[in-house]
Structure 1
Amino acid sequence: MTFLASSAPQAVDHRGPVTGAERALAPDLVRGTMLLLIAVANTGNYAFAGQPGVDGTPHGPERIFNLLKMTLVDARAYPVFAVMFGYGLVQLARRQRKSGATTGAVRSILLKRNSWLVVFGLAHATLLYFGDFLAAYGIVGVISTLLLLNRGDKFHKIVLWIWGLQVVYAIVFGVMAVLAIVNSSGPAQELTNSTNPSLAATNYGASIIDRLQEWPQHTAFVLGFVVIVWLGIWAARKQLLENPRDHRQLLTRVATVCLGITVLGGLPLGLVSGGWLHVDAEAVDKLTFLHNLSGQFGGPGYIALFALWVGRLTAKRSTEQLGLPIIAVSALGQRSLSGYLFQSVVWLVLLAPFTLHLGDRFGSTAFTAAGVAVLVWTVSVVAAYQMKKHSYRGPAETLLRRLTYGR
């Protein structure tokens, strides 16, 4: 699109999608890396046909694996994408406005894109995996476009107060959970998986029917991450990830506080899942709630940590000098939608009871699932790097952009 010089900016309908040169490294590196944690979490769900996807009676190294998974991965990876989704909304709107697009045109593009995300999510949940987040992102994106994006700085400070109250609530509930451990007196309760019928279905047709029943409930449950998305909107307005070295002090505080809450909040249930902590059913319920509550802090915590790392990496080197692994992982981050959907296809083929069902074919279901997760993520990194070399955005990204912007 070409613009003629004039004394005043000319209103345009909209500009096309972002170019590679406009992308910041930190968001893409975060997305690409966090897809590994998403893979580890979801393979566990598939292999054990339920959540949280761990062996309730682990042995040997499985105990350490369960501890790490429950403390650092489960309920801690998806909040990263929630923050990044809010961040991306602001980036998209900012680029459109800088091109001269009208406020109405920007709103139209965002509403269109997020509406298509809901469609993507419905297709994903119907055909592949009930634990879809795309539709929820689309719904929250529509809400954010209508109610949050065109607000001033004073309004967006509200989310900081909400987040502060959540920190206090997490600390108070953490104390209650510790008291539940101390006062535990009943029979020891093992951590068990809550069965998802679609993951245990013995044929594909039955799994579709089950997913159509499970998906609405899952989507309604995760819509609560609108506050985390809003936090991403606030961060994007401050351009924290574009200029991490300019915000080092803030990012250090966020990483320290949020990751501290995430790790400490997930550790007790991690110890239960590893067989080191034995408490009654009531205490396990409280520890499970604390685990999920503290998981939301993993989003800003992990992102701040990566932003600090990127700030150090780029202090003396350009992006092209960062090395092949970092460039390849960031290439996956640029194609995170395709990477996410690719994972769901592979889990269905490799782990479902009516396909290869690899989770039951080796000695350890947990390590089989984790090995598959790492292997599939590695394949997706290699594929994304090849796409980057050939200037191909990725199939899902290309389709979404075509639907949003037209040809």
Structure 2
Amino acid sequence: MNPIAQLGQKRFVSLDLARGFMLLLVALAHASLFLGSSLLTRPESMSMYDTIVNYLSVFLVDNRARAMFALLFGYGLTLIVRSYVKRNKPIKEAKTSLYRRAWFPILFGFILSVLIGGKDILAIYGTALLACCWLLFRSDKTVLRSIMALSLVYVVILPLTWIAMAYAQFNGNTILPGNYTHYFERVTSQFIQFATGGPFIAHFLLPVGVSILIGIWAGRKGLLNESPKNKPFLKKAAVYGLSISLIGALPHALYSNQLIELPPALVGLTFSLHMATGILGGVAYAAIFGLIGPKITNPSGIVWAITSLGKRSLTFFIYNEIMLIVLFSKQTLNLGNQLGMAAGWGLTLCICLTALGCAAWLESKQKSGPIDHLFRKLVYRKSSPRAS
């Protein structure tokens, strides 16, 4: 039997809860970029609370939220393919759907990053899917070998790339464009970056492909399908993954918060370590929700609201990004230059609470998120499986 057809199709609380929580982490990570983070360094602390938030961000959010997002993205892809297989749909039809799922995020990412000015990751995931789509129809062994091979590639690429970026920053060059005063200036710059292959080039900087492949492998094994047999493995993944993630974040936490000084080469290496161990942090977060999910038989209250948010993750990812732009961007209210990290995160949490309220209202009306609805219309056209 095809390994992707072995599990039944249902909506798992674990996945929706993880997606909802992931949106909060991604919003907090992106808020830092508006508040003065350069990836390699943290925004200057104006109070003890800012310092605490800076450390929390390095240890728990930065390069961890994105890894969790990518893993859940990969996991969802296996559910989509499985839904086609269970309905005896042609493989060609499944591949067509997946390629649409790749190209439309690239389009949405273009609109978000170029025209709106958000910190987009949709286009990066779209390009990753273009590259790994074929693996969704290969054996588990092939997927596992691909994870190991790509991981080895990044062991070489990440240090070299980020050492170069560190030297660029030490020489006074910005590595995060975004300090634009005028809208037209920003659109022009972002368009050039996108048109010259920005979403593809980003894979030399961000190892999202590894997390997506891990998500595909986990989906093939059904690790988040709330089965009791997965509990021992998920416990180990949560404990070991989180431990390695925290240890790997320590050197960058000390440097980025200016407790130690390092030459550019070591800055690049510590950041590469932070990013690589962040992949395991994302795995740990997903495993934690895999453990929590089976305990929730009848979601209510805040859990119900977060799962409602997770069901509409595309809509509220874009909503959060737009709200961050409105509040923090120089072209709008410019609060990014006026608030410290603690206040900025507080405001971001308020944004997420409004998203939570809107998602709960949509759930009570049994309505999908408007952008999720549009995306499904574009991808599936008429009638096709809609597992996610």
Distance 1:92 1:193 in 2: 43
Amino acid at match of 2:337: D
Contact kept, 8 Å, 1:133 with 1:219, in 2: the verdict is no
Which structure 1 residue ranges, 5 or more long, are not aligned?
Answer: 1-20, 174-188
Counterpart of 1:202 (choices 144, 156, 181) is: 181
2:318 is aligned with 1:341? yes
Alpha-carbon distance, 1:342 to partner: 0.6
| Of 125-134 and 254-263, the range deviating more from structure 2 | 125-134
Residue correspondence of structure 1 range 381-400 to structure 2 within 5 A: 381-400=356-375
Q: How far has the Cα of 1:280 moved from its partner?
A: 4.6
Q: CA deviation at 1:150?
A: 1.2
Amino acid at match of 2:367: Y
Match of 1:221 among 202, 206, 221: 202
Which of the numbers 20, 24, 35 marks the counterpart of 1:36? 24
The 3 A distance-change label for structure 1 pair 282 and 118 is closer
- 2:230 corresponds to: 247
Identify the residue that residue 3 of structure 2 maps to in structure 1. none
Structure with higher Rg: it is 1
Give the corresponding residue for 1:17: none
Matched, 1:157 2:144: yes
The separation in 2 between residues aligned to 1:88 and 1:250, in whole angstroms, is 20
Aligned partners of 1:68 and 1:270 also within 8 Å: no
> Normalization by structure 2: what TM-score?
0.84
The verdict on how the C-alpha distance between 1:403 and 1:53 changes in structure 2, with shifts beyond 3 A counting, is farther
Q: Residue 116 in 1 paired to residue 104 in 2? A: yes
Deviations 1:56-78 (A, max 9, x none): 35542222211111111111111
Q: For 2:45 and 2:355, how far apart are their aligned partners in 1?
A: 32
**Equivalent residue for 1:287, pick from 270, 273, 291:** 270
Greater alpha carbon shift after TM alignment, 99-108 vs 370-379: 99-108
Alpha-carbon contact 2:29-2:61 (below 8 Å) kept = yes
Q: Deviations over 1:376-396 (max 9, x none)?
A: 111111111111111111011
CA distance in 1, matches of 2:41, 2:199: 16
For 1:310 and 1:109, the matched residues in 2 are separated by 29
Structure-2 residue corresponding to 1:354: 331
| 1:404 is aligned to 2:379 | yes
Per the alignment, residue 386 of structure 2 pairs with none
Which of 305, 310, 325 aligns to 2:293? It is 310
Report sequence identity in percent.
Answer: 27
Any unmatched runs of 5+ in structure 2?
Answer: 1-8, 160-168, 383-388
- 1:211 counterpart (190, 195, 214): 190
Q: Is the 8 A contact 1:89 1:141 kept in 2?
A: no
User: Which residue identity is paired with 1:296?
Assistant: I
Distance 1:261 1:97, change over 3 A: same
Deviation track 1:286-306 (CA, whole Å, cap 9, x = no partner) reads 322222222222221110112
Structure 1: how far apart are the matches of 2:13 and 2:153? 30
Task: Give the residue type in structure 2 aligned to 1:137.
Answer: Y
Q: How far apart are the structure 1 equivalents of 2:333 and 2:118?
A: 19
CA distance in 2 between partners of 1:166 and 1:298 (Å): 20
> What's the C-alpha RMSD, in Å, of the aligned pairs?
2.7
Compared CA separation, residues 281 and 330, structure 1 to 2 (3 A): same
In structure 2, C-alpha distance between the alignment counterparts of 1:166 and 1:308, rounded to whole Å: 31
Aligned residues: 358
CA distance in structure 2 between the aligned counterparts of 1:289 and 1:113, rounded to whole angstroms: 30
Q: Deviations over 1:30-65 (max 9, x none)?
A: 111011111111111112274457323554222221
> Aligned residue for 1:263?
246
Q: Residue by residue, what CA displacement relative to the aligned partner does 1:4-42 show, whole Å, maximum 9, x if unpaired? A: xxxxxxxxxxxxxxxxx9311111111110111111111
Letter of the 1:270 partner, please give it.
A
Query: Counterpart of 1:359 in structure 2: which amino acid?
Result: G
Which position in structure 2 is the counterpart of 1:301? 284
